[in-house]
């Protein structure tokens, strides 16, 4: 694959640890057929940086594979998951009821560490589509490594204590995430939204995902691996991947 590029983005891992460890291991697993100089691995934790990298760089060849490691929740990738700056700004915008500071656009704009299915339908991102599509080979693929990126009809919710609240006018501790439901419902899964926007088949999970370790030539769950080896922790030097807890990474085709 000398004339084709593999692009790998990894976001903020937070509870999953450093996602760079997983991204680096692609070089000896799924991307073993690429020359190392044709594999680009980049940490991306902001939506602005995600689109800027794709629209302002001159790549030496077409992108054959695009891998993304990120937390996800149905209709969005959370590449900046758990970032304290984002958590703080979220708290400042959240209000106790509908009609306050939180509305559809204010929430989308505030969540600078997320890429929403809605983003692909609004400016300025919709204007980048043709440019970004031109970067990929005709038989390219995108793979979103992580949780829940393939869940369709996602509904955003807020909380009332420990209870999820979906009705926009219902009492809750705050009105924030439900504001994203004010437009474009039902929501596409972020995997389907990627497929449509990039016009590239995209793989995503419909469940949570867990760490697996390659050991003795086979992939094993991290608890099984640790039990067999008598170790307490998985290390950066291990060959790692994320695998769905249920099923596989499903394919989503452009519509």
Q: How far apart are the first and last CA of the chain?
A: 28
Distance CA 30, CA 242 (A): 12
Question: What is the pTM assigned to this prediction?
Answer: 0.95
Which secondary structure element, helix H or strand E, spans residue 186, and what is its range? none
Q: How many angstroms from the chain centroid is the CA of residue 26?
A: 17
Tokens at 217, concatenated: 């030539």
User: Which tens digits make up the pLDDT trace of 68-114?
Assistant: 999 999 999 999 999 999 999 999 999 888 888 999 999 999 999 99
Q: Which residues of the chain, if any, have pLDDT below 50? A: 1
Q: Is 234:211 a contact under the CB 8 Å cutoff?
A: yes
C-alpha dihedral, 18 to 6 to 71 to 227, nearest 10°: -50
> Tell me: the pLDDT tens digits for 137-161?
999 999 999 999 999 999 999 999 9
Tokens of 119: 């983003």
Rounded to the nearest 5 degrees, what angle is found at the Cα of 69, between the Cα atoms of 67 and 71?
Answer: 140
Chain centroid to CA 65: 15
- For 81-113, give one letter per residue: b (16+ CB within 10 A) or e: bebeebeeebeebbeeebeeebbbeebbebbbb
Position 16 scores a pLDDT of: 79
Short-list 49, 55, 60, CA closest to 6: 60
Upper half-sphere CA count for residue 165 (Cβ side, 13 Å): 21
Cα atoms in the 13 Å half-sphere on the side-chain side of 141: 11
Is the domain spanning 4-81+111-154+187-252 CATH 1.10.3470? The answer is no
For residues 108 and 211, what is the distance between their CA atoms, to the nearest angstrom? Answer: 30
Radius of gyration of the chain, Cα coordinates, nearest whole angstrom: 19
pLDDT at position 95: 87
Pairing of strands 62-69, 4-10: parallel
Predicted local distance difference test score (pLDDT) of residue 2:
54
């Amino acid at each position: 694959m000398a004339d084709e590029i593999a692009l790998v983005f990894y976001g903020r891992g937070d509870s999953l640890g450093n996602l760079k460890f997983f991204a680096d291991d692609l070089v000896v697993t799924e991307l073993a057929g690429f020359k190392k100089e044709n594999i680009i691995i980049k940490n991306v934790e902001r939506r602005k940086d995600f689109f800027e990298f794709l629209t302002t760089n001159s790549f030496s060849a077409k992108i054959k594979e695009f891998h993304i490691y990120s937390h996800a929740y149905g209709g969005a990738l959370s590449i900046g998951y758990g970032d304290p700056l984002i958590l703080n700004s979220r708290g400042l915008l959240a209000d106790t009821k509908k009609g306050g500071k939180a509305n559809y656009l204010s929430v989308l704009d505030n969540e600078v560490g997320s890429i929403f299915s809605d983003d692909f339908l609004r400016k300025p991102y919709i204007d980048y589509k043709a440019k970004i599509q031109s970067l990929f080979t005709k038989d390219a693929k995108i793979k979103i490594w992580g949780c829940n990126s393939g869940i369709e009809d996602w509904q955003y919710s807020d909380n009332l204590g420990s209870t999820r609240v979906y009705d926009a006018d219902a009492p809750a501790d705050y009105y924030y995430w439900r504001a994203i439901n004010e437009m474009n419902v039902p929501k596409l899964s972020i995997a389907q939204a990627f497929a449509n926007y990039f016009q590239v088949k995209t793989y995503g999970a419909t469940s949570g995902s867990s760490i697996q370790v390659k050991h003795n030539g086979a992939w094993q769950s991290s608890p099984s691996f640790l039990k067999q080896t008598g170790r307490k922790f998985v290390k950066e030097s291990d060959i790692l991947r994320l695998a769905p807890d249920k099923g596989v990474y499903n394919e989503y085709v452009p519509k």
